[in-house]
Structure 1
C-alpha cells in the first residue's frame, strides 16, 4: 500500500499486483463513505479526514487488530462472522516468527476491566532476546500486503489460479502451494470441465486425463511467463528492502508454478501409460 508506482510496476503480472490495487480501491471507497458520514455531523471534521490519514489508520487497524474472539472464554485467533476487530496495545507489537508455538489465555471476569489476556510462548526465550508472536501460516503475498515484510523460502507461499467455468461471467479460483499442495483440487475442476464439453464421441478416461494434464501445464506455463523478473530492475528507483521482499515473493511464485508443471507432467505420463494399457501408444512432445 506504500509502494511507489515504480515499485508497484515490479509486481505486474503477479497476483499481488491486482490484490494491492483492489485493496486500495476498497479502502478509498471506505474513506469516501466516512467523509460523507462525518460531513453530515461536522463539515470541518469531514474535510479534515484526508486520504493519507485514513490510509495510516486503516493500515494500523489491519496490521495490528485481533478478532474479538480472542477475548472470549475459549479464545481463538481466527475471525468469524460474529467477531469484530479489536486493538490490544502493547501485545500487538510482537513481530512474527513462523511456527513459534504460542497460546492465548483469556481470563474473563466481572467486572471486565479486571480481565486479562496472556500470550504464552512455549519455548525458552533467552534473556535479552526478542519475544515473537505467531501470526499463523501466511504466504508472502499476505505478509507483504498486510504487514510490509516477507520471508525467504516461505513454506506457506501460495498462488491463486483462475479457471474459467461454463458460465462465461464466472471463474473458479484455486489456491495452490509449494510441492503442488492442493493441486488435486485443481485437477478435479479441470477434469469436470473437460467432461462437460460436448464431443461427438465419448472420451476415454486416459483422453480426459491427458487433456487435463496438458491444460494445467499450459495454464501454469503462461502464468510463469508473465511473472516479472526483479533481477532486471536495473535503474528502477526502488528501495532495497522493497526489492528484497518482492524477490522473496516472486521466488515463491516461481517455485510453486514449477512444482505444479512437474506434477502435471507426471499426470500426463500416467495418462499415457493408461492409453498404452488399452493398446494405444502415445509419444509425448518432450519424449520425441
Structure 2
C-alpha cells in the first residue's frame, strides 16, 4: 500500500497542478493496481485531477519525436502518434538512454501502467487460452485486431528515419502501447470542447480508477470556462457517491457490453445489462437477387449488415427490414416497388411490411440464424471445458465464461421474442383473411 498523493506519479501530477485526494492509496488486488480509500471519502470530493499540460495528445506526442521521422514521410495517423510515443517509453526505459532528437516526458506515468506480462486482454492470450473463446465473436475480433495492429507497426517502422529506433521498436512494445491506448484513452473533446473529429487523449492519474458499472462519478473539465486559459485547464474525477474505508474508488466508462470490455480491457461485468450479441447478415450470391440489394439498402440508408441484439432479445428493426428484402419473392419486390422510396418516406415505412408470407419467411430465417449462433456458442463451451486449468492464467477463464454466458442469455431471449412475434404474425394474418398452408405453420409450431 502506498499513498497516491506521495507516489512518484502523485508528486509529478502535483508539480504541474494536478492532485490525488490525500486519503487515496494504491493497492495490489485481482485487477492489478487499484485505488482505495484509506479513510472514508465523502461524496463530492475530487478523487484525482490531471492538468491538460500533462495530457498525452497526438500533437504533444509528435512534438517529442518529429525529428526521428523521415523527411518525406506522410503524416502519421493519430493512432500511430500516440502508440509510438507510448512504445518508446518501453524501448528506452530510462531518459539517460534516449537518442538525440527524442524527448519522452511521461516516465512517472508509464511506470505505473501494467507491464506486458500483466495484460489480460485476448490479444495477450496464449493458444490454449484462445481456445476458451471458441464459438464466440471474439475469435475473429481478436485476430482482426492483431492483424490490423501488426500492419500499423510495420508502417511505423517505415516512417522512422532513425534505423536504430526502428529496429528497437519491437512488436511486443507496440502491442503493449496499442492495448494501453485502447483501454485508457479519453476523448479530446474534454480539452477542446465538442468536435466532430475527436482524437484519443491520455490523462495520467485519472485513468488509474477502475470501471464499475453504475459507479457515480463525474468528469469535470473547465474547457468551457472562458476565463481559464488552456494551459491552466485540467480534468478532474469527482466522486458523486461516498467511498467507505478500505473500499475501492471507481470511475465509470459508461454502459459497455462484456464483449467490448473483454476485448479492450480484459475484464467483464457479472450479469451485464448492457450485453449485446452482434449479428451480421450475409448476402446471397448476386445471381439469385431479384433486386440490387447493396444499392437498395444504401439508398434506404441502412447499408450496414451488422446489428446488435440487446439483453431483452428484441431484434433491431433495421435487421428485420433487410431480411424482408433478402427473402422477398417477386410479388414482395413488386409490393416494395409500389411502396416506393421517394419523398420523405424512410426505410421504416418502405420496408415495414411486404406481405404475410414474407413476414413468416423472415421469422423462419431469423430462427435459423439465432439457433446457429447459439449452437456455435454451446459447442465452443464444450471445447473450453477441455482446456486444462493449469494452462490458463488467473481470472481469464472466469471472464470468458461470464462473456459467453451473457451471449447465450441474449440469444435465448431473442428466440423467445421471435416465437412471440411468429405467433402474433400468424394471428394477424388469420384476422386479415389469409389462408396459409396451415400444415406448414403447425409443423413449425411443433418444432418450437
Q: Where does residue 369 of structure 2 map in the other structure? A: 219
Pair 1:37-2:191 in alignment: no
Deviation at 1:265, TM superposition (A): 1.0
Q: How far apart, CA to CA, are the structure 2 residues paired with 1:154 and 1:218?
A: 26
Q: Which deviates more from structure 2 when the two are superposed, residues 276-285 or residues 8-17?
A: 276-285
In the alignment, which of 181, 185, 190 is matched to residue 70 of structure 1? 190
Q: How far apart, CA to CA, are the structure 2 residues paired with 1:240 and 1:60?
A: 20
Q: How far apart, CA to CA, are the structure 2 residues paired with 1:202 and 1:111?
A: 62
Q: Report SS of the residue matched to 1:229.
A: helix
Pair 1:229-2:381 in alignment: yes
Pair 1:116-2:234 in alignment: yes
Asked if structure 1 preserves the Cα contact closer than 8 Å seen for 2:325 and 2:333, the reply is no
Deviation at 1:241, TM superposition (A): 1.0
Asked if structure 2 preserves the Cα contact closer than 8 Å seen for 1:160 and 1:176, the reply is yes
Distance 1:73 1:272, change over 3 A: closer
Pair 1:57-2:177 in alignment: yes
Q: Where does residue 419 of structure 2 map in the other structure? A: 265
Q: Where does residue 173 of structure 1 map in the other structure? A: 306
Q: How far apart, CA to CA, are the structure 1 residues paired with 2:332 and 2:175?
A: 57
In the alignment, which of 122, 127, 131 is matched to residue 5 of structure 1? 127
CA RMSD in angstroms, aligned pairs only: 2.5
Q: Where does residue 77 of structure 1 map in the other structure? A: none
Q: Report SS of the residue matched to 2:327.
A: helix
Q: Where does residue 267 of structure 2 map in the other structure? A: 149
Distance 1:285 1:110, change over 3 A: closer
Distance 1:279 1:143, change over 3 A: closer
Task: List alignment gaps of at least 5 residues for structure 2.
Answer: 1-122, 287-292, 295-303, 336-353
Pair 1:14-2:147 in alignment: no
Q: How far apart, CA to CA, are the structure 1 residues paired with 2:260 and 2:169?
A: 27
Q: How far apart, CA to CA, are the structure 1 residues paired with 2:424 and 2:388?
A: 47
TM-score, with structure 1 as normaliser: 0.88
Q: How far apart, CA to CA, are the structure 1 residues paired with 2:184 and 2:255?
A: 16
Distance 1:136 1:44, change over 3 A: same
Asked if structure 2 preserves the Cα contact closer than 8 Å seen for 1:73 and 1:107, the reply is no
Q: Report SS of the residue matched to 1:215.
A: helix
Distance 1:279 1:32, change over 3 A: closer
Q: Report SS of the residue matched to 1:53.
A: helix
Q: How far apart, CA to CA, are the structure 2 residues paired with 1:55 and 1:29?
A: 11
Pair 1:287-2:440 in alignment: no
Q: Where does residue 330 of structure 2 map in the other structure? A: 198
Q: How far apart, CA to CA, are the structure 2 residues paired with 1:201 and 1:191?
A: 10
Asked if structure 2 preserves the Cα contact closer than 8 Å seen for 1:104 and 1:120, the reply is yes
Deviation at 1:69, TM superposition (A): 0.7
Q: Report SS of the residue matched to 1:57.
A: helix
Q: Report SS of the residue matched to 1:164.
A: coil
TM-score, with structure 2 as normaliser: 0.58
Q: Deviations along 1:193-229, whole A, 9 cap, x unmatched?
A: 333x435998972211111111100000011111110
Q: How far apart, CA to CA, are the structure 1 residues paired with 2:333 and 2:148?
A: 48
